[in-house]
Amino acid sequence: MQTENVLIARICHDLITPCNAINLGLEAYEMSEDKGLLSCIKDSATKANVLLKFMRELFMKKDDNYLYSVEFLRNLVAEFLEVYNIGSDFVTDCGNFNCSLGRIILCNGAIMKELMPMGGKVTFKMSSDCIEIICSGNGVIELDTSIPQELTYKNVLRFKLLEQLKINGFSVVSSLEHGEGKIIESCIKLS
């Protein structure tokens, strides 16, 4: 039960910023009627909608026989990461992923915003039994593969990812390399 409570707190935490921006934008618009504020309000509402769609898919119970299309995952993850200034690319020859592998891809998408706090680009290279995730950008952080001692809203998504990997028999190898200037590349291999 603690995991669910922390997940709910995390989702609320992620939604507070765009929802507050909508409220503040509406208040400011009422006072000034500046047409530029409407685009900010719309942008915040769009971000809140993207976060809700992604989180719904991430935590919705699916039948084990459910298949995620690569196109659906690509679009959902790309839209979510775009909110955090992270570009994404999917490289795969698969057309569909089974439910457990689709969830792992979604969990990985969710934690990218924490591994890439300053934005960047992530490439998902996927086959039916292996996922390689390459992150590049300023300030990329290596994935901590240890199970957290205490769940908080900051580590609950990493916990859910590691839990999904363990349930599905994946092992994780994470490495970090410094590139030119401040560009850092991180590679996560799941096999």
Q: Do 88 and 116 reside in the same domain of the chain? A: yes
Q: What pLDDT, on a 0 to 100 scale, did the predictor assign at position 185?
A: 57
Q: What pLDDT, on a 0 to 100 scale, did the predictor assign at position 119?
A: 92
Q: Do 156 and 76 reside in the same domain of the chain? A: yes
In this structure, what token pair is assigned to residue 8?
A: 């709910």
Q: What pLDDT, on a 0 to 100 scale, did the predictor assign at position 3?
A: 66
**Is residue 115 pLDDT above 90, yes or no?**
no
Edge-to-edge strand order for the sheet containing 120-126? 86-92, 120-126, 131-138, 183-190, 172-178
Residues near 123 by beta carbon (within 8 Å), at least 6 away in sequence: 88, 89, 90, 91, 133, 134
Number of domains in the chain: 2
**Is residue 176 pLDDT above 80, yes or no?**
no
Contact call for residues 83 and 47 (beta carbons, < 8 A): yes
Dist CA 181 CA 72 (whole Å): 35
Last residue of a domain, one of 44, 60, 76: 60
Q: Do 90 and 176 reside in the same domain of the chain? A: yes
CATH number, domain with residue 30: 1.10.287.130
Task: Give tens-digit pLDDT for 51-80.
Answer: 888 988 888 888 888 899 999 999 999 999
* Owning domain of residue 118: 63-191
Q: What pLDDT, on a 0 to 100 scale, did the predictor assign at position 85?
A: 94
CATH number, domain with residue 101: 3.30.565.10
**DSSP codes of every residue in 18-42:** HHHHHHHHHHHHHHH--HHHHHHHH
- Rounded to two decimals, the pTM is 0.79
Q: Do 101 and 46 reside in the same domain of the chain? A: no
Q: What percent of the chain has pLDDT over 70?
A: 86
- What is the arithmetic mean of pLDDT over 40-49? 83
